[in-house]
Amino acid sequence: MPVAQGGLRIGEPGWIGPLRLKNRLIMAPMGTNFGTGDGLSTERDRHYYALRAEGGVAAIVTEAMAVSEGGRAHNNSLWIYHDRFIPGLARLVEAIRQHDCLAIGQLNHRGGLLRRMVLNMEPVGPSPWRNPNTGDEVRVLQADEIRAIQLDFVASARRLWQAGYDAVELHAANGYLFQQFLTQRINHRTDQYGGSIANRARLLLETVHRIRDALPDFPLWVRLSCTEYCDDGYPIEDVIAVARMLEQAGVTALDLSGGTNESPALSRFCIQPPSMPRRALEPHARPIRAAVSIPTIIAGRILSPEDAEAVLEAGSADFISLGRALTADAYWPRKAFGKSPAPIRGCISCNVCFERLTLERDVSCVVNPMLGTEFEEQALAEPQPTGPTAWPRPAPRRVLVLGGGVGGIEAARVAAARGHQVEVWEKAARPGGQIHLAVAAPDKAEVEPAWGYRWTLLQSLGVPVRCGVDADATMIRAFAPDHIVVATGARPRPLGIPGATPLQAWDVIADPALIPEGATVVVVGGGIVGLEVADMLILRGCRITVLEAMPALAPQMARNNRTDLLLRLEQAGVRFHTKARVERLVGGRLEFTADGAPHAVVGVDHVIAAIGALPNREVLPAVEAAGVPYTLVGDANQPGDFLSVLRDGFMTGLAVGLPHATGAG
């Protein structure tokens, strides 16, 4: 029996039909928006997938490709409805297979979840319906149109086969066309495609049979949602029945997901926020695996090697589907198997990757800010002081980093690994900056890898970090740096209210005991920080009102996470007012207007300010007096999120020592 890589179950080879997989790790299909505007694969697309193949997964399921000309998902998603797409896909497959990795092509039709706002795609489905995301009416498919779509799937499968793919996967999960037919919530047909589970599965089964007849030797996988996570969703008995029908029809593997993307409240079960448990789908997937003899693959917040090992140990699936974990770190498998010295760059379930697709932007990642660029290559993303490097090593410089938060540590890490002499000075008593606030809110402990990964690497490089240092010009001159990175973060924006002395949300997050249990609290500012401080105070039994000046709450937060948090706050009785303007606090009565109408909260014990941040540049006069070139990084440059902070830090660290790199000084 072959020895498992790293002594782990996830490192054991396995078989799916005629395909041998070198380990138990499969990359999940995830959209990127890296294609062209007319649906062609690009060099950026190929590079993205090639890195993940190099990173050690056994197989990659490429992003869902639209099988019909009228079925596109995003402005730059891939199409496969015509033969002109074959050459680009063939090059994509070649890039994947160069690394002993299989390429699986996923085919999809979004049905009723098509959006008129994206290229004027018409939503179609089994029955009259309305797309909950957009309000678009869904037109009912007629029998001849159903057959045409099935033939589109067959033709698209043939194109995958011509392009050299190792297998095809039909996307029958996450609320798209096949699932719309499977669920009685949406399918109210009275013909042969509605009623019993056999009839509701007919569209899928007929499509499977057509592909099997046309391409008998081409392995066929199907992705199913184990559960819809709603009271009127299909029961597990229906999913098991469909799974058995698919096995009998010649399907070689079941790729198990969950939920439906038809609304933000349900979509959060597809792309889970950190409030949901690790291995979230496992209880729903286990009975399906027990009911069939073909291999099953499972997704659902499997973020660490320990998570993946536990799934296999429990017998809940045969293979592991890694999605966001590989967005965060292409080399996750190699690191899990001990083939790379760097720690895994852990996914924090912030769901910015998914949110960017929703906003029709290219996918990105908070903890992997160079995703989709050449800077994601390991020699650049995780350079080592010795050994191979992607670029010639620069002339060593003496670099002083002012600020020991995430951005400063990232700049220090990259600069030191490129061969520069680096030291970090932090004014506070401990490094970390705002990371201590970021992990303090409920369900936010998993943000820690954004810091821990970088701190571990910095320590391995032996970079000195001095805390409690209030830098002045004399100290800076004595250190004699060639370049200074100013990464001193931000400070909360002050709020003036007649009659009130607001506490800052940052202070309350750091010490919730500042607010007595059961207090009546008004939070001014309904962004991420305002909602998170409200979430913390729920645990102290407080009565909370949140006032936001803008029309929407936390619009910068990923919608799945925002929906999850808002539902929790609403269930706890938190009251919200948007388009709000605070007037005054008089005798415990906080007066404000909302959408122009007067309102008040009575018996107010505390007002908390959460109205954003300002750059903290207190050290800048000393830096400029020292006469040393400098670069502002992260919140000290422009308050933002982890993504912008880490991009600043990474690219600044990489720029140090380049022939013509200059800073603000």
Condensed to tens digits (0 to 9), the pLDDT of residues 288-319 reads 999 999 999 999 999 999 999 999 999 999 99
- C-alpha distances in Å from residue 598, one per residue of 553, 577, 579: 20, 11, 12
* Arithmetic mean of pLDDT over the chain: 94
Tell me the sheet residues that pair with 424.
401, 465
Q: Are residues 518 and 642 in the same domain?
A: no
115/126 Cα distance (integer angstroms): 16
* pTM of the model as a whole: 0.94
pLDDT at 388: 60
Tell me, yes or no, whether 589 lies in a domain: yes
Among 348, 379, 410, give the residue marking a domain's end.
379
Is residue 660 included in any domain, yes or no? no
Q: How many domains does the chain have?
A: 3
Q: What is the pLDDT confidence band of residue 1, given thresholds at 50, 70 and 90?
A: very low
Structural domain ending residue among the three candidates 344, 379, 414: 379
Same domain? 333 vs 193: yes
- Point out which residues pair with 139 in neighbouring strands: 124
Helix %, strand %, coil % for the chain, to 5?
A: 35, 20, 45
In contact, 414 and 448? CB cutoff 8 Å: no
Residues 284 and 358 in one domain: yes
Beta-sheet strand order (sheet of 543-547) = 503-504, 606-609, 520-524, 543-547, 575-577
Q: Tens of pLDDT along 546-580?
A: 999 999 999 999 989 999 999 999 999 999 999 99
Would 42 be classed as within a structural domain? yes
* DSSP state for residue 602 in the 8-state scheme: -
| Pair (417, 518) in one structural domain | no
- The answer as to whether 384 is a domain residue is no
Same domain, 328 and 345: yes
Residue range(s) defining the domain that contains residue 470: 390-492+615-655
pLDDT in tens, 212-256: 999 999 999 999 999 999 999 999 999 999 999 999 999 999 999
Is-contact 465 431, C-beta < 8 A? yes
Q: What is the dihedral of CA 316, 318, 319, 324, to 10 degrees?
A: -10
How much is the average pLDDT of 610-628?
Answer: 97
